[in-house]
Amino acid sequence: MDNPIAQWHAEHKYFGRLLNLLERQVDVFHAGEQPNYELMLDVIDYLRLFSDQSHHPREDVAFACLARRSPELELPLARLMQEHRVIAHVGEKLRQSLEQAVAGGFVERADIEAVAATYLVYYRSHFAREDDEVLPQAVSILTAEDWQAVSAAPRAVGDALSQQASDQRFRELRRRIALES
Protein backbone atom coordinates (compact mmCIF):
# COMPACT_ATOMS: atom_id res chain seq x y z
CA MET A 1 0.00 0.00 0.00
CA ASP A 2 2.19 2.83 -1.30
CA ASN A 3 -0.24 5.64 -0.58
CA PRO A 4 -3.21 4.36 1.43
CA ILE A 5 -4.92 7.77 1.51
CA ALA A 6 -4.80 8.06 -2.28
CA GLN A 7 -6.06 4.48 -2.52
CA TRP A 8 -8.98 5.26 -0.20
CA HIS A 9 -9.92 8.35 -2.19
CA ALA A 10 -9.72 6.37 -5.44
CA GLU A 11 -11.89 3.59 -4.01
CA HIS A 12 -14.43 6.13 -2.71
CA LYS A 13 -14.56 7.75 -6.14
CA TYR A 14 -15.06 4.36 -7.77
CA PHE A 15 -17.78 3.43 -5.29
CA GLY A 16 -19.43 6.77 -6.07
CA ARG A 17 -19.54 5.83 -9.75
CA LEU A 18 -21.15 2.53 -8.83
CA LEU A 19 -23.70 4.37 -6.70
CA ASN A 20 -24.43 6.67 -9.67
CA LEU A 21 -25.23 3.61 -11.81
CA LEU A 22 -27.50 2.29 -9.09
CA GLU A 23 -29.20 5.65 -8.68
CA ARG A 24 -29.96 5.91 -12.40
CA GLN A 25 -31.69 2.53 -12.22
CA VAL A 26 -33.63 3.63 -9.13
CA ASP A 27 -34.72 6.72 -11.11
CA VAL A 28 -35.97 4.42 -13.90
CA PHE A 29 -37.81 2.40 -11.27
CA HIS A 30 -39.28 5.58 -9.75
CA ALA A 31 -40.55 6.66 -13.17
CA GLY A 32 -42.59 3.46 -13.30
CA GLU A 33 -40.42 1.80 -15.90
CA GLN A 34 -38.50 -1.47 -15.75
CA PRO A 35 -34.96 -1.01 -14.38
CA ASN A 36 -32.06 -3.29 -15.14
CA TYR A 37 -32.33 -5.42 -12.01
CA GLU A 38 -29.29 -7.50 -12.94
CA LEU A 39 -27.15 -4.34 -13.17
CA MET A 40 -28.53 -3.18 -9.82
CA LEU A 41 -27.70 -6.55 -8.27
CA ASP A 42 -24.19 -6.49 -9.74
CA VAL A 43 -23.57 -3.06 -8.20
CA ILE A 44 -24.84 -4.21 -4.81
CA ASP A 45 -22.92 -7.50 -5.00
CA TYR A 46 -19.71 -5.70 -5.90
CA LEU A 47 -20.12 -3.20 -3.07
CA ARG A 48 -20.93 -6.04 -0.67
CA LEU A 49 -17.97 -8.11 -1.86
CA PHE A 50 -15.26 -5.50 -2.13
CA SER A 51 -16.35 -2.59 0.03
CA ASP A 52 -17.88 -4.47 2.94
CA GLN A 53 -15.30 -7.26 2.97
CA SER A 54 -12.05 -5.52 1.99
CA HIS A 55 -12.31 -1.72 2.02
CA HIS A 56 -14.21 -1.25 5.29
CA PRO A 57 -12.10 -3.73 7.30
CA ARG A 58 -8.97 -1.74 6.36
CA GLU A 59 -10.71 1.47 7.41
CA ASP A 60 -11.76 -0.14 10.68
CA VAL A 61 -8.11 -0.91 11.48
CA ALA A 62 -7.11 2.66 10.62
CA PHE A 63 -9.95 4.03 12.75
CA ALA A 64 -8.86 1.90 15.71
CA CYS A 65 -5.29 3.21 15.34
CA LEU A 66 -6.58 6.79 15.10
CA ALA A 67 -8.72 6.38 18.21
CA ARG A 68 -5.73 5.01 20.13
CA ARG A 69 -3.56 7.96 19.11
CA SER A 70 -6.29 10.62 19.43
CA PRO A 71 -8.86 9.61 22.04
CA GLU A 72 -11.02 12.66 21.21
CA LEU A 73 -11.75 10.99 17.86
CA GLU A 74 -13.02 7.80 19.46
CA LEU A 75 -16.74 8.64 19.30
CA PRO A 76 -16.83 9.96 15.69
CA LEU A 77 -14.75 6.99 14.56
CA ALA A 78 -17.01 4.54 16.40
CA ARG A 79 -19.95 6.10 14.53
CA LEU A 80 -18.21 5.58 11.20
CA MET A 81 -17.48 1.94 12.07
CA GLN A 82 -21.16 1.56 13.00
CA GLU A 83 -22.06 3.03 9.62
CA HIS A 84 -20.02 0.27 7.97
CA ARG A 85 -22.32 -2.26 9.63
CA VAL A 86 -25.46 -0.27 8.73
CA ILE A 87 -24.36 0.06 5.09
CA ALA A 88 -23.74 -3.70 4.96
CA HIS A 89 -27.16 -4.39 6.51
CA VAL A 90 -29.09 -2.03 4.23
CA GLY A 91 -27.13 -3.31 1.22
CA GLU A 92 -28.10 -6.86 2.08
CA LYS A 93 -31.74 -5.86 2.49
CA LEU A 94 -31.68 -4.13 -0.90
CA ARG A 95 -30.03 -7.16 -2.50
CA GLN A 96 -32.72 -9.46 -1.09
CA SER A 97 -35.51 -7.17 -2.33
CA LEU A 98 -33.99 -7.00 -5.82
CA GLU A 99 -33.50 -10.77 -5.96
CA GLN A 100 -37.12 -11.25 -4.93
CA ALA A 101 -38.25 -8.87 -7.70
CA VAL A 102 -36.07 -10.65 -10.30
CA ALA A 103 -37.53 -14.00 -9.22
CA GLY A 104 -41.03 -12.64 -9.85
CA GLY A 105 -41.92 -12.24 -6.21
CA PHE A 106 -44.07 -9.37 -5.01
CA VAL A 107 -42.12 -6.46 -3.62
CA GLU A 108 -43.72 -3.06 -3.31
CA ARG A 109 -42.01 -0.42 -5.45
CA ALA A 110 -42.06 2.00 -2.53
CA ASP A 111 -40.20 -0.54 -0.37
CA ILE A 112 -37.42 -1.00 -2.93
CA GLU A 113 -37.20 2.76 -3.47
CA ALA A 114 -37.00 3.44 0.26
CA VAL A 115 -34.26 0.88 0.85
CA ALA A 116 -32.33 2.04 -2.24
CA ALA A 117 -32.62 5.71 -1.22
CA THR A 118 -31.43 4.89 2.29
CA TYR A 119 -28.48 2.97 0.88
CA LEU A 120 -27.51 5.74 -1.55
CA VAL A 121 -27.83 8.61 0.92
CA TYR A 122 -26.13 6.77 3.75
CA TYR A 123 -23.24 5.59 1.60
CA ARG A 124 -22.57 9.02 0.08
CA SER A 125 -22.80 10.78 3.43
CA HIS A 126 -20.41 8.22 4.87
CA PHE A 127 -17.81 8.82 2.12
CA ALA A 128 -18.05 12.57 2.57
CA ARG A 129 -17.45 12.35 6.32
CA GLU A 130 -14.49 10.03 5.87
CA ASP A 131 -12.95 12.12 3.09
CA ASP A 132 -13.53 15.48 4.79
CA GLU A 133 -13.04 14.65 8.47
CA VAL A 134 -11.08 11.44 8.95
CA LEU A 135 -8.61 11.00 6.11
CA PRO A 136 -6.94 14.40 6.62
CA GLN A 137 -6.38 13.52 10.28
CA ALA A 138 -5.12 10.06 9.39
CA VAL A 139 -2.41 11.64 7.23
CA SER A 140 -1.07 13.66 10.13
CA ILE A 141 -1.63 11.22 13.02
CA LEU A 142 -1.02 7.66 11.83
CA THR A 143 2.49 6.26 11.84
CA ALA A 144 4.21 3.95 9.36
CA GLU A 145 3.51 1.10 11.80
CA ASP A 146 -0.21 1.99 11.79
CA TRP A 147 -0.28 1.97 7.99
CA GLN A 148 1.39 -1.45 8.00
CA ALA A 149 -1.40 -2.72 10.26
CA VAL A 150 -3.99 -1.24 7.87
CA SER A 151 -2.28 -2.90 4.92
CA ALA A 152 -2.20 -6.23 6.77
CA ALA A 153 -5.95 -6.15 7.57
CA PRO A 154 -7.60 -9.38 6.42
CA ARG A 155 -9.30 -9.14 3.07
CA ALA A 156 -12.07 -11.52 2.17
CA VAL A 157 -11.82 -10.86 -1.56
CA GLY A 158 -9.74 -9.17 -4.21
CA ASP A 159 -10.99 -6.40 -6.47
CA ALA A 160 -13.59 -8.19 -8.57
CA LEU A 161 -13.80 -5.29 -10.99
CA SER A 162 -10.11 -5.16 -11.82
CA GLN A 163 -9.13 -5.84 -15.41
CA GLN A 164 -7.77 -9.24 -14.32
CA ALA A 165 -11.13 -10.32 -12.90
CA SER A 166 -12.47 -13.37 -14.65
CA ASP A 167 -15.94 -13.20 -13.12
CA GLN A 168 -18.28 -12.86 -16.12
CA ARG A 169 -21.04 -11.16 -14.17
CA PHE A 170 -18.92 -8.07 -13.53
CA ARG A 171 -17.84 -7.68 -17.17
CA GLU A 172 -20.87 -5.51 -18.03
CA LEU A 173 -20.42 -3.55 -14.84
CA ARG A 174 -16.78 -2.82 -15.76
CA ARG A 175 -17.94 -1.63 -19.18
CA ARG A 176 -20.57 0.66 -17.65
CA ILE A 177 -18.03 2.10 -15.21
CA ALA A 178 -15.61 2.76 -18.07
CA LEU A 179 -18.34 4.74 -19.84
CA GLU A 180 -18.65 6.87 -16.70
CA SER A 181 -15.02 8.02 -17.00
pLDDT over 90 for what percent of the chain? 51
The total number of structural domains in the chain stands at 1
Please report, as a single letter, which amino acid is at residue 154. P
pLDDT band at 156 (very low <50, low <70, confident <90, very high): low
Angle value at C-alpha 48, between 141 and 146, nearest 5 degrees: 20
Question: Is-contact 47 16, C-beta < 8 A?
Answer: no
- Flag whether pLDDT at 180 surpasses 70: no
pLDDT band at 66 (very low <50, low <70, confident <90, very high): very high
pLDDT band at 166 (very low <50, low <70, confident <90, very high): very low
Distance CA 54, CA 68 (A): 22
Report which of 42, 51, 53, 62 is spatially closest to residue 137, judged by C-alpha positions. 62
CA distances from 32 to 2, 19, 23, 37, 121 (A): 46, 20, 14, 14, 21
Q: What is the pLDDT of residues 18-48, one digit of tens each?
A: 999 999 999 998 898 989 888 899 999 888 8
pLDDT at 167: 64
Higher local confidence (pLDDT), 181 or 62: 62
* Alpha helices per DSSP H over 106-170: 109-129, 135-141, 144-151
Q: What is the CATH number of the domain that holds 139?
A: 1.20.120.520
| Mean pLDDT across the chain | 86
Please report, to the nearest 10 degrees, the dihedral formed by the alpha carbons of residues 61, 117, 176, 97 taken in order. 90
Domain interval for residue 56:
4-180
pLDDT at 83: 92
pLDDT at 164: 42
Higher local confidence (pLDDT), 158 or 92: 92
Cβ-count burial 9-23 (b if 16+ within 10 Å, e if not): eebbebbebbbebbb
